[in-house]
Amino acid sequence: MHPFLEISPAVNEALLAGQPIVALESTIISHGMPYPQNVETAMLVEKTVRENGAVPATIAILDGKMKAGLSHAEIEYLGKTGRGVAKVSRRDLPFLLANRQPGATTVATTMLIAEMAGIRIFATGGIGGVHRGAAETMDISADLQELARTSVAVICAGAKSILDLGLTLEYLETHGVPVIGYQTDEFPAFYTRKSGHGVDRRLDSPAEIAKLLKTKWLAGLQGGVIIANPIPETHEPAVAPIQAATEAAIAEAERLDIKGKEVSPFLLAKIKELTGGESLRANIELVLNNARLAARVAVEMGK
């Protein structure tokens, strides 16, 4: 057992029994939504995973441990504490573990801990990527490098629309990360189903996805896979208001000189404000949609 890894009894039992498991991140709880909606959403996502045949494993840093599988009380703590909990990427881990400080895991850190725990499937909202203006700032999310080296499949609604999606896809191609569109030929843009960019391959069933993942890793090809799962049409917000809010939020962030790991939470909160909460409603629906697909893929992997 890894000295800094703690697996909950429910997740450990599922691992020993070979049951399907889906990893879930915790940044969406502490930094993605206000309390109590963040806790309600986290519990609903876990419930959705269970209803589709898998065991949820929400991941966070607590009490000097990387925890795979949280109790309701631990999720409640993250939700109530909110941004008082550190947003943790790979580089932050040793500091928090050494000082026993709590941390909410990003896509990158959730992948890392999931792989340590033996979990291959991870559901999230959207991945980070290459930020606009990265040619000058070099602001590129650690999520992309983690995808290049960590063998976990990430089911997401594409990359966040605040990013440069074209450069994000170019980066993934350079590092050999397959981008699969689930029942789509086009890479989704988080809140919206279309981005104008294609995917590497289209697969139309959880069984096809599971076969691809098994083949990749059995062939010794390390690294992650993106399963891009568009938000359901019935929950997709109008494109023009989302685009206008995104541009306004980016301009505001530039004016206030907001940088680094604070950029994404600021932009998402600003977009929510400018859309009257419509973006948050869409965010919840796309996360639930990803949890459903992730559980079904995990079940097929188990077969």
Provide the number of structural domains found in the chain.
1
Share of the chain above pLDDT 90, in %: 79
Q: What is the DSSP string of 200-230?
A: SEEE-SHHHHHHHHHHHHHTT--S-EEEE-P
Q: Residue 243: what pLDDT?
A: 86
**Structure confidence at residue 136 as a pLDDT band (50, 70, 90):** confident
Domain hosting residue 186, numbered range: 5-302
**Structure confidence at residue 208 as a pLDDT band (50, 70, 90):** very high
Q: Taking the model in full, what pTM does it have?
A: 0.93
- Separation of alpha carbons 13 and 8, rounded Å: 8
Please state the rounded mean pLDDT for residues 139-160: 94
Q: Residue 262: what pLDDT?
A: 77
Q: pLDDT tens digit string along 18-50? A: 999 999 999 999 988 889 999 999 999 999 999
- Name every residue whose Cβ is closer than 8 Å to that of residue 1 and which is 6 or more positions away in sequence: none
Q: Residue 291: what pLDDT?
A: 98
- Separation of alpha carbons 171 and 265, rounded Å: 22
C-alpha angle 110-112-117 in degrees, rounded to nearest 5:
90
Tally: H helices and E strands in the chain = 13, 11
Kindly list the catalytic residues: 25, 160
- Separation of alpha carbons 67 and 7, rounded Å: 6
**Structure confidence at residue 133 as a pLDDT band (50, 70, 90):** confident
- Separation of alpha carbons 190 and 177, rounded Å: 19
Q: What is the CATH number of the domain that holds 201?
A: 3.40.1790.10
CB count within 10 Å of CB 149 equals 15
